[in-house]
Each structure stands twice: as C-alpha cells, then as structure tokens.
Amino acid sequence: MDGFKQVIIIRNDIAMSTGKLVAQGSHASLMSYLETLKGHKDIADTWIRQGEKKIVLKIENEELMKRLYEAFKYKQIPCALVTDAGFTELPPGTTTALGVGPWKGEEIDVFTKTLKLL
C-alpha cells in the first residue's frame, strides 16, 4: 500500500495567531490519525512508515468546512472536526480545523482539489 497522506484544513476567515493556528492544526492531525488508527490500523502504520505525508490547506468559512466533513464521513474516510474550547483567542465552540486521514490520497483529493495551500 502506498499513496497515503493526511490533509489538514484550516479556516482562513477567522483571526488566529500563528501559535493558535499551529495548535488547531495539530489537534486536527492527531484526532484524525486516531480515527484512522481505530478502524484502519494497517493504513495508519503504513503512513507512519512512509514519513507521515501531510498537506495543509485553507478554507473560506465554517459552512464549507462542515460540508466537507460530512462528505468525508459519508464516504467513510477517517476525519475529525476541531472545535475550540474557548480558553484563549476564540469563542467556545468555534470550528477551526478539519483533519482528514491518513488515507488514500486520490480519494481525499476528490474533495480537496479546489482548496489552496495555507
């Protein structure tokens, strides 16, 4: 098996410091990895051995991010939506990031090909 990657999608319509942005992306990465590990340990292990390829993309708003999340869930592609606890910069419940995979790159790309790199 090869061609696995993880995609982290960050909202670019909300103001976050660099540190906050990195933290939210890190939450998305770990949460999504754990989702993959639960149901597809072979894919998670292969991705680790292959160097943990990650792509970070941006998205324009919460509605689009939630629609993407629902599409990935429908296709049974492991993913995780990050909602901020509100302890620092953002109001509680703010959706900030979406982690997808690790999974087959071509299956992720179907949904993310129009998004730009962050």
Task: Name the residue ranges covered by the structural domains of the chain.
Answer: 4-117
pLDDT value, residue 8: 98
d(CA 73, CA 75): 5
Fold of 4-117: Bit1 (3.40.1490)
pLDDT value, residue 1: 42
Of 41, 38, 60, nearest to 49 by C-alpha is 41
- E strand or H helix that includes residue 39: helix 18-39
For the chain, 118 residues long, give each residue's pLDDT as a single digit of tens: 459 999 999 999 999 999 999 999 999 999 999 999 999 999 999 999 999 999 999 999 999 999 999 999 999 999 999 999 999 999 999 999 999 999 999 999 999 999 999 9
Phi-psi region of 51 (alpha: psi -120 to 50; beta: other; left: phi over 0): left
CB atoms within 10 A of CB 97: 27
d(CA 39, CA 56): 23
